[in-house]
Amino acid sequence: MKRLFLGAVFVLITLTIFGQNKSKVDAINATKVAFFTDKLDLTAAEAQKFWPVYNDYRRRKNKIIQDKKNLMKYCSENMANLSNEEMAEIADKYTEYFKKEADLFVKFNDKFKSVIPVEKVMKLYIADNQFKIYLLNEIKKTGK
């Protein structure tokens, strides 16, 4: 029954995501919560501990990704005016963002293991990849 309910919620949220433009990010996040909740089979107690940790992880990871994008945008827009030294600095900063992302992942792996069983941590990593594939397929289907 729980899976049926989550499946119905998942379908409704998916329709909302691709049927409207106004708050796509919120709709995607809501779909992700339903998707992960289903895949991880979290108990209420686990969910209460897990979601704040996961949301903190996503917020920090998104900040790193945004900073990396901003750096590349700056480089792209100013490439003709940058010296070799400046480009070398940008290249070093760019690679540092990948290290920050990896360090964050390692740190939060331990945090995830402290709030949910390791089996569910692995289900989280699998679900994360499955969700990316799901979103890409939805984009292909809808063209949005």
pLDDT tens-place string over residues 9-62:
444 444 444 445 557 888 888 899 989 989 999 999 999 999 999 999 999 999
Residues 62 and 109 in one domain: yes
Does one domain contain both 87 and 139?
A: no
Q: Are 121 and 40 in contact (CB under 8 A)?
A: no
pTM of the predicted structure, to 2 decimals: 0.78
Q: Where are the alpha helices (DSSP H) in the chain?
A: 2-19, 24-40, 44-78, 84-115, 118-142
Give the list of residues 6+ apart from residue 143 with CB closer than 8 angstroms, or none: none
Same domain, 56 and 9: no
Range of 127's domain? 1-42+120-144
Angle between the 44-78 and 24-40 helix axes, to the nearest 10 degrees? 140
Number of compact structural domains in the chain: 2
